[in-house]
Structure 1
Amino acid sequence: MKIAIEGCCHGELDAIYAEIARVEQQNGYNVDLLLVCGDFQAIRNHRDLACMAVPDKYKQLGGFAKYYTGQAKAPILTLVIGGNHEASNYLWELYHGGWLAPNIYYLGHAGCVQVNGLRIAGASGIFKPGDFHLGHYERPPYTHGTMRSIYHIREYNIRRLSLLSSPTIFLSHDWPQGIEHHGNTGDLIRRKPYFREDIRKGALGSPPMMGLLRTLKPQWWFSAHLHCRFEAVVVHEGDGGGQHQGAKGAEKTNPDEINIDEDEEPQADAGAAAEVKEAPKPAAAPINPDEIALDDEADEVEAPPPPPPPPTQTRFLALDKCLPRRKFLEIIDVDAPSSSYPPMLTFDPEWLAITRAFNTYMSLERRQGTYPDEGSARESVREALVWVREHILKGKEGEGLKVEEVQQFVTTAPGPTTDKPRAPPPYYPNPQTAAFCSMLQIENKVDQVAAGGSGPSS
């Protein structure tokens, strides 16, 4: 399956799809799936801009609205996570994941789905140590502070993701902390000299993301946020274990980037837009050209013991934002269990079980309650998985449950109008979230954040 990966979108959907079409025509193939690593900016109308943490000069509608209203349709199944420049009200509306627009699916604040049986997981937002251990206390209309804290990733979601068995692909907006030491650090510093001090202090990237990388050991990990292309390979020697504790975040300085108080992020250098990579293939056994091979001795000579299996590894790739002459897009080949076309998006049974088992620990207050120990948590997930197989999959686990059988896209907010109001929007409960919670028979805590407990108002 050919998968396109995009760094930061920043509302440039038209340009991204156009670049994919150009690469398809140039190479004579079709891309099956697009993954976007955050700063997607699903802005439905001008009132959503009041919920996006950027300076006023960057508060532009962008290209998403026409996909939301149906004026345009995504030509490729697109999966996205959130970053730190989002219409956070809409992403909260779909906290557990859902269709942002036809053919564009949001993984949620944390989530895992399957595309043709390929497991793809992701975490939205960025790491800030002061908010990591808190509950989801933010309420609309957002203040200057909560407009930022709402996209700061919580320990609740890291703990849930850590209970997954290894997905093939993982998406994060932040880089995992220390990932630069698994690639060409010198070249990164040469291109991004303002990273030097953070790298020296060990403060570049997200500690929880590196903990997840070591725990989940996915084949691929894709990130964005720092607006530059960077490759690395993390070799997993034994059990790396999880790392769920907060640490000092990176203090980045880039005069050319969108600076919003505590959430600065750097920018990238020039380069070609799209590159094509093949998924890694097992290395062939070394051949000794001086050896004398005698076929008839095969049964007479005792074979040496087989070598130990090679350690697993995760290939990391960060990409730039969508701008001309930037390295913002990459296309890879990944083997998928099935070859349905168009690709089939299904729920991941294990993630459904984790969501059901952990929903009771989702705090809507500033204080986050105590979590169960890992053994108890995994036992609860095992029990929930039995329930999922019995009540949701109903003996059809091999086929999977299509997402569209439970969640269908609906326009909950109006599209853009000729006037440009900047007042905060009302809260819009999303039927997709209600349907997801109903399927799992869990409490819909997402819609409880509505101001005064009420639904949309005029």
Structure 2
Amino acid sequence: MAPESLLVAGVGDIHGRFRRVESWLDALSEARGREVDLVLAVGDVEAFRLADDHRRKAAKRAMPAEFAEYADGVRTMKRPLYFIAGNNEDFEALHDTPEGLQLAPNVHYLGRAGVKELHGLRVGYLSGIHAPRFYEQPLKRPRSLDTAKQAGYFRVPEVETVLGVKDVDVLLVHEWPRGLPQRAQEQGVPPGRTLPSYWIGNPITRRVVETVHPKWVLCGHSHRAFAVTMGGHGGRPATRVACLDQAARPEEAVFWMELQGREVVCAGWGTSGEVSWRAGQPWGLGVLPAPSGPTEPMGTGY
């Protein structure tokens, strides 16, 4: 019997734009001629119930708090969406459930660090970004704007948890692993492509990837699409990394993978359903969609 086919969509920083993301997933399902089975979001989901919540950044308070419609049952997410925390979340609501919880029908917070089996896939995850000053400090309850900001930083015990996981199909992280531009430079930069700063990302996430050796890594935070291969030396398996833009336009904010069993057989960007990569082909900047204009400033993660 052939292994079961699965369509998985990765989504970049949603920043509260739930309706928009759902319309993109509708379009992708129609284009592929099948339903999206599983949605994985890479943080900065911003599942706030109130638009003017003082914990939201000022730039976001002018936008509607779309998540309230899902939390109150006015709308229901059509497909199961699992997300990690970025550095901009309702951390007060997430604090007491570091192992994850369901926030609304089909909307699930995975937790701060660990691994879960979703639709037969082993999905590892590390929420937050790296802040060296707080890396070894205990996590405080987010009672103020300051402690809420600190809740968006991962800590040593969380990193140690994810370092111990094995046999990971997809690893979700918010901040890029350090060294992706250098790796892309080694693999060759196609004409018309520019590389971000060599200092983008953090070394802790890189260590996690190099230790866990996941088949795929999905990340966000820096609001730019990027694709590169890590590892693959000394007999160790290669890891394919896909960095996603924020949910501003689907071409670079949505990345989908079609699997047979636990193996990705093809993948693509956006909602057109067009395949940009098939198993056995190289993975790198050449699989990205054509540049569509200037990107937003990198590293903001606002």
CA positional deviation for 1:91:
2.0
State yes or no: 1:322 paired with 2:275.
Answer: no
Correspondence for 1:204: 200
Paired residues for 1:90-239 under 5 Å? 90-140=93-143, 142-143=144-145, 145-184=146-185, 195-196=196-197, 199=198, 203-238=199-234
C-alpha spacing 1:42/1:188, structure 2 compared with 1 (3 Å): farther
Higher strand share: 2
**Does the 8 Å CA contact 1:98/1:107 hold for their aligned counterparts?**
yes
**Does the 8 Å CA contact 1:100/1:106 hold for their aligned counterparts?**
yes
Paired residues for 1:18-57 under 5 Å? 18-46=23-51, 49-52=53-56, 54=57, 56-57=58-59
CA positional deviation for 1:230:
0.4
Correspondence for 2:285: none
CA positional deviation for 1:225:
0.7
2:191 and 2:141 mapped to 1: Cα distance?
37
Give CA deviations for 1:355-375 in whole Å, capped at 9, x if unaligned: xxxxxxxxxxxxxxxxxxxxx
Give CA deviations for 1:71-126 in whole Å, capped at 9, x if unaligned: 11110111101111211211213321010111111111113211232111111111
Q: Which runs of 5+ in 1 are unaligned?
A: 239-309, 338-458
C-alpha spacing 1:40/1:330, structure 2 compared with 1 (3 Å): same
Q: Which has the larger radius of gyration?
A: 1
Higher helix share: 1
2:254 and 2:29 mapped to 1: Cα distance?
13
Paired residue secondary structure (1:82): coil
The CA RMSD over aligned residues, in Å, is 2.2
**Does the 8 Å CA contact 2:163/2:212 hold for their aligned counterparts?**
yes
**Does the 8 Å CA contact 2:124/2:165 hold for their aligned counterparts?**
no
Give CA deviations for 1:231-286 in whole Å, capped at 9, x if unaligned: 01112334xxxxxxxxxxxxxxxxxxxxxxxxxxxxxxxxxxxxxxxxxxxxxxxx
CA positional deviation for 1:180:
2.2
Correspondence for 1:13: 18
1:115 and 1:78 mapped to 2: Cα distance?
11
1:129 and 1:176 mapped to 2: Cα distance?
15
CA positional deviation for 1:179:
2.0
TM-score by length of 1: 0.52
Correspondence for 1:346: none
Paired residues for 1:430-441 under 5 Å? none
1:13 and 1:321 mapped to 2: Cα distance?
12
1:70 and 1:83 mapped to 2: Cα distance?
25
1:61 and 1:95 mapped to 2: Cα distance?
27
C-alpha spacing 1:188/1:151, structure 2 compared with 1 (3 Å): farther
C-alpha spacing 1:188/1:227, structure 2 compared with 1 (3 Å): farther
In the alignment of these two chains, the number of paired residues is: 255
**Does the 8 Å CA contact 1:43/1:61 hold for their aligned counterparts?**
no
CA positional deviation for 1:46:
4.7
Correspondence for 2:8: 3
The AA in structure 2 aligned to 1:149 is Q
C-alpha spacing 1:101/1:189, structure 2 compared with 1 (3 Å): farther
Q: Which runs of 5+ in 2 are unaligned?
A: 1-5, 263-302
**Does the 8 Å CA contact 2:91/2:142 hold for their aligned counterparts?**
no
Give CA deviations for 1:261-312 in whole Å, capped at 9, x if unaligned: xxxxxxxxxxxxxxxxxxxxxxxxxxxxxxxxxxxxxxxxxxxxxxxxx541
**Does the 8 Å CA contact 2:13/2:41 hold for their aligned counterparts?**
yes
**Does the 8 Å CA contact 1:179/1:232 hold for their aligned counterparts?**
yes
**Does the 8 Å CA contact 1:214/1:236 hold for their aligned counterparts?**
no
TM-score by length of 2: 0.78
1:82 and 1:104 mapped to 2: Cα distance?
13
2:126 and 2:192 mapped to 1: Cα distance?
29
CA positional deviation for 1:183:
2.3
Give CA deviations for 1:53-74 in whole Å, capped at 9, x if unaligned: x2x2322443211111111111
**Does the 8 Å CA contact 1:229/1:327 hold for their aligned counterparts?**
yes
Correspondence for 2:269: none
